[in-house]
Amino acid sequence: MEEKIKAIKSWLGTGSINIFGLPMSGKDTQGIHLAEVLGGKFLSSGLIIRAMEKNSKKSYSENGSLIPTNVFYEWVLPYFERKDLFEYPLILSSIGRWYGEEDAVMTAAASAGHNIKAVISLNISEADAKDRFEVAKTLNDRGDRQDDRDIKVFENRLEEFRSKTLPVITHYNELGLLVNINGDQPRDAVFNEIVEKLYERSLQFPA
pLDDT at 160: 96
- Residue 187 pLDDT more than 80? yes
pLDDT at 149: 64
Domain 2-204 coded CATH 3.10.20.30: no
DSSP conformational letter for 99:
T
Q: How far apart are CA 121 and CA 99, in angstroms?
A: 15
pLDDT at 173: 98
- pLDDT per residue as tens digits for the range 110-158: 999 999 999 999 999 999 999 999 888 776 655 555 555 688 999 999 9
pLDDT at 68: 94
Largest alpha-carbon pair distance within the chain? 47
CB 72 within 8 A of CB 23: no
What is the rounded average pLDDT of the residues 158-168?
Answer: 97
Q: How far apart are CA 12 and CA 40, in angstroms?
A: 10
pLDDT at 60: 83
pLDDT at 148: 57
Strand order, beta sheet including 16-21:
41-44, 90-93, 16-21, 116-123, 178-182
Quick check: helix, strand or coil at residue 19? strand
Of 12 and 1, which is predicted with more confidence?
A: 12
- pLDDT per residue as tens digits for the range 27-86: 999 999 999 999 999 999 989 999 998 888 888 888 899 999 999 999 999 999 999 999
